[in-house]
Amino acid sequence: MINKKVNNVQEALKGVTNGMTFMLGGFGLSGIPENAIAHLVTLGINQLTCISNNAGVDDFGLGLLLQKKQIKKMISSYVGENDEFERQMLSGELDVELIPQGTLAERCRAAQAGMPAIYTPAGYGTEVAEGKETREFDGKMYVLEHAFKADFAFVKAWKGDEAGNLIFKGTARNFNPNMCGAAKITVAEVEQMVPLGTLDPNQIHIPGIFVQRIFKGAVYEKRIEQLTLRQRD
């Protein structure tokens, strides 16, 4: 079995430099690569382009990189709940490309699957389609969207093994599987590193072939963004 395990976040992030393009999994604060993000802050590299559905909140997730002005450009679908983001965007300090969420997912998957571009109806007739090629199929209009190109994909899984096989949990799965293998180097961080052979081959969400490095995250805060409860009767 080809061993993808590295010992810590330092080893896992070897090779990241200024100006690179990163993909980062997660939806809101759920399933984000917390350890990779924290280490990117420590490394202090900047001029980054980040492809991530959201931009974190002011004091967690990608918000930490925004606070340090390490991000040059964000490609996201939804960036509410982040005042610093909105400030940098409206002031023009931060370049922002907002794209439909399904388009974001499919542009990742296209990169993973070796497809150069996809056609989606999302955004047709809106400013998202401006300057893009459109085309009719069966009487419906579609927008041509290109596969992403990224240097690193940082994903977070629940369980993994040294072969790089991954299993995600609940809705923390989201974009993480679609980003695996969609960048030159995919770095997976996991909550639990399990012995080789203990994951059921039938139940692996992402086979290790899509992952170059895997490590056990030192700590997971797993912050809840909108705690919403039901009253007990």
Partner 1 sequence: MLDKNGIAKRIAKEVQDGFYVNLGIGIPTLVANYVRDDIEVEFQSENGVLGMGPFPYEGEEDADVINAGKQTITTLPGASFFDSAMSFSMIRGKHVDLTILGAMEVAETGDIANWKIPGKMVKGMGGAMDLVASAENIIVAMMHTNKRGESKLLKKCTLPLTGVGCVKKIVTNMAVIEVVEQGFKLLERAPGVSVEAIKQATEGHLIIEGTIPEMNI
d(CA 116, CA 81): 33
Taking the complex as a whole, how short is the minimal distance between the CB of residue 36 and partner 1, in angstroms?
18
Question: Judged by CB, which is closer to partner 1: 43, or 119?
Answer: 119
Taking the complex as a whole, how short is the minimal distance between the CB of residue 125 and a second copy, in angstroms?
17
Q: Footprint of a second copy on this chain (CB under 8 A)?
A: 106, 113-121, 137-138, 140, 142, 146, 167-170, 201-203
Question: Judged by CB, which is closer to a second copy: 67, or 101?
Answer: 101
Task: Dump the DSSP string for 1-41.
Answer: ----B-SSHHHHTTT--TT-EEEE--BTTBT--HHHHHHHH
Q: Which of 41, 65, 62, 38 is nearest to 52 (CA)?
A: 62
Exposed, middle or buried: residue 50 (CB in 10 Å: 0-12, 13-18, 19+)? Answer: buried
Taking the complex as a whole, how short is the minimal distance between the CB of residue 70 and partner 1, in angstroms?
20
Question: Judged by CB, which is closer to a second copy: 200, or 233?
Answer: 200
218 binds, among partner 1, a second copy, none (CB under 5 to 8 A by kind): none
Looking at residue 204, its amino acid is I
Q: Which of 62, 49, 27 is nearest to 176 (CA)?
A: 27
119 binds, among a second copy, partner 1, none (CB under 5 to 8 A by kind): a second copy
Taking the complex as a whole, how short is the minimal distance between the CB of residue 231 and partner 1, in angstroms?
8
